[in-house]
Amino acid sequence: MLGFAKKLFGSSNERKVKALAARVAKINAYEAEYSALSDEALKGKTAEFKARLEKGESLDDLLNEAFAVVREASKRVLGMRHFDVQMVGGMVLHFSGISEMRTGEGKTLVATLPTYLNALEGKGVHVITVNDYLARRDADWMGQVYNFLGLSYGVIVNGLSQGERQRAYRSDITYGTNNEFGFDYLRDNLVYDVSEMVQRGHNFAIVDEVDSILIDEARTPLIISGPTEDRSSFYKTIDVLVKELILDKTTYDHDEKQKQVILTEDGQEKIEEILMSGGHLAEDSAGLYDAANVSVVHHVNQALRANILYTRDKDYIVKGGEIVLIDEFTGRMMTGRRLSEGLHQAIEAKEGADIQPENQTLASVTIQNYFRLYKKLSGMTGTASTEAQEFDDIYKMGVSEIPTNRPIQRIDDDDEVYRTEREKNEAILKQIADCHRSWSAPSRSRSRKSCRSCCRPSPSRRTARR
């Protein structure tokens, strides 16, 4: 019965997209009229929309006309006309949803529609990207449309002064990365005078690669810290002792999946004996876990984590004598970022680098909690359906799959998941060898056809579990 109803009425996503597509016809009805306007007349629409908002109209009331204005401005400034499906994606963003759009369908251009509409209120719109390069590129690229229509834009990247940040946030539209926005929020909570704050509220945000930022990095804490007393020599001492201890793998339990490591009872006894003989425990203490030795236990645990859980050239690199963390999601260096609670110092001791003073946390917020501050939140990505339930539970955001502008010709096979890295590498080598043999065949036209087939794994060659 459910299957019959779905065939008759379509899925919930199809019904939602169909309803929004019906509104696109009303937007398209303005195209001929706006195409005939001069540049000055088209720019004048922004002032007209703002005046209508002041008189009591809502953003929803202006949506059709505002989207048509942005489309026309984009045609004149960028030479790009929004497709109908992009209009649908823009409406999903405006209504606090997530637009799932295939790669190459123009998410950057789609964002200009709800960004312009919501910027008319004058409360600020934040467009979040995953790195500084994209923030600059998108701001300079799409900023041409906003400037043409009389709106200002700014970009928040690493290295800006406080004055530059204030000017960027006071623009109608502000581009930047999630980390920059989050740290600016923390710094604003540490200033002594309101005039020193850079942000002016959290009205509306559009998050690009929303699944990466709001799901994968959701629990990642952003921390501002300050220095405490220097204990660099003690870090080095404990590192030497722990390295000696872990030569015996029975002294610790390592959970790779949970990324945790703890000492076994045997390990606790051995490290206690080593510390006691070296005079590193408090005098008259009953043992390692006496209240007087809390700090020593902390150093041991951090040294254990540094030596077992963190791998050089994978989790961090040593550059110029400093430990630089690597973002596990993007593979980029996170210059200036440090692990808290002495863990970074433990890694510095492990690698023989200069140990910086340990820091204490002054302000902290998770990515998830920061973005929940926004009055209205939306996002874009190519892969959100698999996390649709999490988006709804945590952020109250629905996911809408936006159809492509043209039918897809590419064949997308299912992912292959291998039990071990060895099996994966062997499968890759086999595929490379198959392609090489095909391209080495006498007939060049036949080899191209053969390689296309070998580069698309057939079910008979799949040994993976899905």
3-state secondary structure 381-397: ECCCHHHHHHHHHHHCC
Question: Residues, the chain, total?
Answer: 466
Q: Is residue 33's pLDDT more than 70?
A: yes
pLDDT of 55: 95
Categorize the per-residue pLDDT at 293 as very low, low, confident or very high, splitting at 50, 70 and 90: confident
Report percent pLDDT > 90 for the chain: 64
* Dist CA 39 CA 243 (whole Å): 70
pLDDT of 10: 53
Categorize the per-residue pLDDT at 281 as very low, low, confident or very high, splitting at 50, 70 and 90: confident
Judged by average pLDDT, the poorest of 62-76, 85-99, 153-167, 321-335 is: 321-335
Report residue 361 CA to chain centroid gap: 23
- Average of per-residue pLDDT values in the chain: 88
What b/e sequence results for 9-43 when a residue is b if at least 16 CB atoms lie within 10 Å of its CB, and e otherwise?
eeeebeebbeebeeebeebeebeeebeeeeeeebb
Judged by average pLDDT, the poorest of 17-21, 112-116, 356-360, 392-396 is: 356-360
Ranges of each domain in the chain: 2-222+368-401, 229-357, 421-461
Q: Is residue 250's pLDDT more than 60?
A: yes
Residue 127 — φ and ψ, nearest 5°? -110, 115
Out of 391-400, 411-420, 433-442, give the one with best mean pLDDT: 391-400
- Higher model confidence: residue 206 or residue 289? 206
* Dist CA 301 CA 346 (whole Å): 10
Structure tokens at 269: 């006894």
Stretch 235-245: mean pLDDT, rounded? 91
- Higher model confidence: residue 201 or residue 466? 201
Q: DSSP state, 442? A: S
Q: What CA–CA distances, in Å, run from 442 to 436, 447, 450? A: 12, 8, 12
CB-CB contact of 391 with 398 (8 Å): yes
Categorize the per-residue pLDDT at 167 as very low, low, confident or very high, splitting at 50, 70 and 90: very high
Q: What is the pLDDT of residues 34-66, one digit of tens each?
A: 999 999 999 999 999 999 999 999 999 999 999
pLDDT of 465: 36
Q: What CA–CA distances, in Å, run from 114 to 62, 98, 119, 235, 258? A: 11, 12, 8, 52, 40
Fold of 229-357: Pre-protein croslinking domain of SecA (3.90.1440)
Categorize the per-residue pLDDT at 229 as very low, low, confident or very high, splitting at 50, 70 and 90: low
- Taking every pair of C-alpha atoms in the chain, what is the biggest distance, in angstroms? 90
Residues 384, 379, 63, 152, CA torsion sign: negative
pLDDT of 295: 87
CB-CB contact of 166 with 156 (8 Å): no
pLDDT of 154: 96
* Dist CA 352 CA 268 (whole Å): 25
Residue written as tokens 């200033």?
191
Q: DSSP state, 189? A: T
According to CATH, the superfamily of the domain at 2-222+368-401 is: P-loop containing nucleotide triphosphate hydrolases (3.40.50.300)
